[in-house]
Amino acid sequence: MTVFLKVDHVDRRFPLAGGGEYVALNNIALPIHQGEFVCLVGHSGCGKSTLLNILAGLDQPSSGGIILEGRQVTEPGPDRMVVFQNYSLLPWLTVRQNVALAVDQVMKQHPQAVRDRLIDHHLQMVGLERAAHKRPGQISGGMKQRVAIARALAIRPKLLLLDEPFGALDALTRGGLQEQLMKICQEHEVTCVMVTHDVDEALLLADRIVLMTNGPAAHIGQMIEVPFPRPREHLEVVKHPNYYSLRNEIVYFLNQQKRIKQHQAKPAAAVAANGLEKVNLELGFIPLTDCAPLVVAKELGLFEAYGLSQVTLNREPSWGAIADGVTSGRLDAAMMVAGMPLGLTLGLGPSASVPVISALTLSRGGNAITLNRQLYAAGVRSLADFKAALAHRPDQVHTLAAVHPTSMQNLLLRHWLASGGIDPDRDVTVTMIPPPQMVSTLRSGAIDGYCVGEPWNSRAVYEGIGVVLATDHDLWPGHVEKLLGVTEAWAEEYPQTHLALVKALLDACEYCDDPLHREEILGWLCRPEYLGSNPAYTRPGWMDAYPRGDGGEPQMIPNYNQFFNGKTNCPDAIEGLWILTQMARWGMVAFPRNWLEISERVHRIDIFGQAARELGLPDTGRDRHSLQLFDGLTFDPDQPLAYLEHLTIKRDLRVEEILV
C-alpha cells in the first residue's frame, strides 16, 4: 500500500532561556495510508500536539520532515485542516459565515453558487442547517465543535488533524459527534490524525493507535492495530472480544509511563571539580577487539579532554567479574554484553535485582560460530550436517560454549541451533567460558565449538584447530553487541560524570570507524595490557579479509566490527526487547509484562541524545521497525508475545509484571 503521509524521523527541540535545548520529540517515524484514522495517545507533555502542529505546518521540525503525497510540508495549507479543542470560531460571525470564511478563502476560483452549495452541504452533514444564522454565543459547545468540523471538511482537505476536539464536551454530546465524525470520514475517505487522552475514544475511532512515551525526548513506544470492523457503533465495539484486552494494554502502557517518570525524577547531585561530580574512574573491559572505544579514549587522552582526569582500564577475567564489579561498586562502569544490563535489572541468576542502565552502544557485530576441525573433517559443513551428526550418534554428548547467558553469543548460538531443529538444552550442552579461554578449551577437546567475538575465532582458524561455520554477517548483520553499563544509582549520583564518560566514548567510537585509524588502533589493541594478541590473527575482520578455515578464499566482511557508522551508538530498545524474548524463551527470566517500562528504564536514549547534541552529532535514534534474522521470522516489537508463541523450540514461558 502506498504511503500517503510520512512522518520522516522528526525531531523537535526548543531553546532554553538559560542555554541548552529541550527535546520535545525524538526520531518520530510514522507512515500513514490514505483513509487511515490514527490516534496519538500519551500523557500530557509527550509532544502529541507538537507533532500535530508540525503536520499542519504551524510549526517546523528541528530535523526530519513531513511528506504528504510526495511533497514536503513546510507551511500551513488548505490540504491540511486542524480542528482544535477550543473551536476557534469568530464570535461576530454566524455559523454559516464561519464556514464560509474558509470556503471563500480557499475556493475563490469557484462561482459563488458552487461555494454556497458546498457550505450548505457541510452544514447539513453535521446537522446544523437550522442553526446556520446563529452566532457561536447562541449555540452549545457540541454545536460549536460541529461548526469547526464542517469548516475543516468544507474545503476538502487531504488530511484532517484533530487536537482533542471532544475533550470539553459532555459524554452524550461527545458520543454523537464521534459517530458523526466516523461516518463522514468513512464516506469521504478522509485521512485523520487525532490527539486524544481518551482510551475508549481512540479504540472507537482509530484504525491504529500510536502510544507516545513521556517527554522530554518523547518517541513512539508502541503501536496498536485496532481490528474492529467498520462501520462501528459504540455498543458493538465494546462487545468485540478484543476490546477489553486492547483497552487494558493501552492503560497498562500509560501506567508504565507513570512509573518511568517517577524513576527519572531524581534530584540533581552536587557538582565537584571541572563541573563533574567524580573525575577518577575504574572501567572494566574484556580482551576483545570491540573493547577498542575504551582503548582509544585512553590512548588519545579523550577521557582527560572531557574532565575525567584519572581513568583506569581494568582487564577483567570474565563477564561474570564485569557484572560483579559494576554491581558491587568496584567498577564505576564497564563494557557489557548486550543483555547484561537487562539481566542485572531483572535479577537474573542468584543475585537480587540491581537496576543497570546503558546510554551508549559501543559496538555492533564482530562474532562468529566456530566448530572444531574434527567435526568439519567428519562432514559437518553446515547446521543441517550438525543435526545429522547428532542424530547419527545420539549417545555422544556435544558441548558448545558461549561467553555469558545474557550475551548475544549465547542467544544467537541458541537461536541458530533451534532454527535447525536442535534443542540447545536437550540435544547438546551449552556452557559458559570467558572469551580468552575459548581457544585453549577447544584445543583440549573439552568443547566442540563456540560462539565468541574476535580475535578468538580467527585465532582458532590461524592455529588450525577450528573452522568458522557462520559469522554475524550470516546471522544478523549489525546487531547490538557491547554496551556501556553503569548502575542506575551511580548515574543518578554522578550525572555529569556519566555524561562526560558517554561523550568521551562516543568520540572514541567515531575515531574507531575511520579506516585510516584501524592500523594505529590495532597496534594498541595487541599490547599486553589490552588483548595481548598476535596481529596476524587480530587483523581478520578488523581490517583484512576474513578466513573461515574451510580452504576457501578469505572474504571481506563490511562493517564486521562496527563502532559509529549506521547509527551504531543510540541505545535500541527494540533490540533489547528481542533480547528479553530470548531470555524468556530459554527460561532465564519470566517475560516482563511491563517490557516497555523495563526496556525504557535500561536503554537511556535521553542521556545519549544530550551527549550527542553537546558534541554536535546527530541525536537521532535508530529506526523503529521490525527485525528479521537469518531464519526469516519477523520480530514485531508491538507483538513480542506473538513472536514467542511462534517459536517451536523453547522452554515453558512465564509472563509476569516485574517491578524493580
**Digit-coded pLDDT (tens) for 278-288:** 999 999 999 99
Residue 435: pLDDT over 60: yes
Mean pLDDT of 55-77: 92
pTM (2 d.p.): 0.87
Helix, strand or coil, per DSSP, at residue 343:
helix
Half-sphere exposure of 592 (CA within 13 A, CB side): 25
In angstroms, the CA 37 to CA 185 distance is: 8
Give yes or no on whether 3-258 and 273-365+478-530+562-656 have one common fold. Answer: no
pLDDT value, residue 154: 83
pLDDT value, residue 289: 97
Helix, strand or coil, per DSSP, at residue 471:
strand
CATH class of the 3-258 domain in this structure = alpha beta
Nearest CA to 574 out of 361, 362, 402 is that of: 361
pLDDT value, residue 265: 58
pLDDT value, residue 423: 97
Nearest CA to 317 out of 403, 400, 410, 401 is that of: 403
Nearest CA to 355 out of 263, 283, 285, 266 is that of: 263
Count CB-CB contacts under 10 A for residue 486. 28
pLDDT value, residue 337: 98
Q: Grid coordinates representing 33?
A: 495510508
| H helix runs in 306-455, sequence order | 319-328, 340-346, 373-377, 383-392, 408-419, 438-444
Q: Helix/strand/coil (H, E, C) string of 40-71?
A: EECCCCCCHHHHHHHHHCCCCCCEEEEEECCE
Phi first, then psi: give them for residue 517, nearest 5 degrees.
-100, -10
Is 205 in contact with 177 (CB distance < 8 Å)?
A: no
pLDDT value, residue 358: 98
Cβ neighbors of 581 (< 8 A, separation 6 or more) are 591, 635, 640, 643, 644
Side-by-side strand order, sheet with 310-315: 310-315, 280-285, 333-337, 480-487, 356-364
pLDDT value, residue 272: 57
Q: What are the boundaries of each domain within the chain?
A: 3-258, 273-365+478-530+562-656, 367-475
Residue 137: pLDDT over 80: yes
Cβ neighbors of 156 (< 8 A, separation 6 or more) are none
271 — pLDDT class (breaks 50, 70, 90): low
> pLDDT, tens digit, for every residue of 169-191?
677 777 777 887 788 788 778 89
Q: Grid coordinates representing 335?
A: 563494557
Residue range 273-365+478-530+562-656 in CATH 3.40.190.10: yes
Q: What percent of the chain has pLDDT over 90?
A: 66
> pLDDT, tens digit, for every residue of 512-561?
999 999 999 999 999 999 999 999 999 999 999 999 999 999 999 999 99
Burial class (CB in 10 A: 0-12, 13-18, 19+), 630: middle
Cβ neighbors of 59 (< 8 A, separation 6 or more) are 12, 50, 53
In angstroms, the CA 646 to CA 354 distance is: 31
Fold of 367-475: D-Maltodextrin-Binding Protein; domain 2 (3.40.190)
pLDDT value, residue 150: 83
Strand partners, 358: 603
